[in-house]
Amino acid sequence: DAGITQSPRHKVTETGTPVTLRCHQTENHRYMYWYRQDPGHGLRLIHYSYGVKDTDKGEVSDGYSVSRSKTEDFLLTLESATSSQTSVYFCAISEQGSSYNSPLHFGNGTRLTVT
């Protein structure tokens, strides 16, 4: 299994509070991704990174920011959590970008509940 660790695995927070989710990889892969998974919507891309300090927005980036200061760590921050951000968040990594048909390797997810 690819070495991907997400923390925390579960979190409950209140509306309006900041939240940071962490993804740590031991595979030295260049690409890292944050997805959210909601019933009926599959996986939707929030942000991704193609190298240290190189990030770009996905289709549902509003209300989220990311940072990647080291190859192995990719942080997802909700500046002011809202109930609509209650979801399961998955981190994924790949050696190359999607245009190279590079497979994604996923972590086991973080279940976030915003009350």
Partner 1 sequence: TQLLEQSPQFLSIQEGENLTVYCNSSSVFSSLQWYRQEPGEGPVLLVTVVTGGEVKKLKRLTFQFGDARKDSSLHITAAQPGDTGLYLCAGTGSARQLTFGSGTQLTVLP
Using the Cα atoms of residue 15, residue 18, residue 23 and residue 24 in order, give the sign of their dihedral.
negative
Phi, psi angles (nearest 5°) of residue 57: -85, 150
Beta strands 10-13 and 110-114, pairing class = parallel
Binding residues for partner 1, rule CB under 8 A, total: 24
Rounded to the nearest whole angstrom, what is the least distance from the CB of residue 79 to partner 1 in the complex?
Answer: 23
Site string for partner 1, 42-81 (x = CB under 8 A): xxxx--x---------xx----------------------
Query: E strands of the chain, at which residues?
Result: 4-7, 10-13, 19-25, 31-38, 42-51, 54-57, 64-70, 73-78, 87-94, 105-106, 110-114
Distance (Å, rounded) from C-alpha 73 to C-alpha 5? 10
Site string for partner 1, 11-40 (x = CB under 8 A): ------------------------x----x
Rounded to the nearest whole angstrom, what is the least distance from the CB of residue 49 to partner 1 in the complex?
Answer: 12
Report the site for partner 1 in 84-113 (rule: CB under 8 A): 90, 92, 97-99, 101, 103-109
Q: Which residues bind partner 1 (CB under 8 A)?
A: 4, 35, 40-45, 48, 58-59, 90, 92, 97-99, 101, 103-109
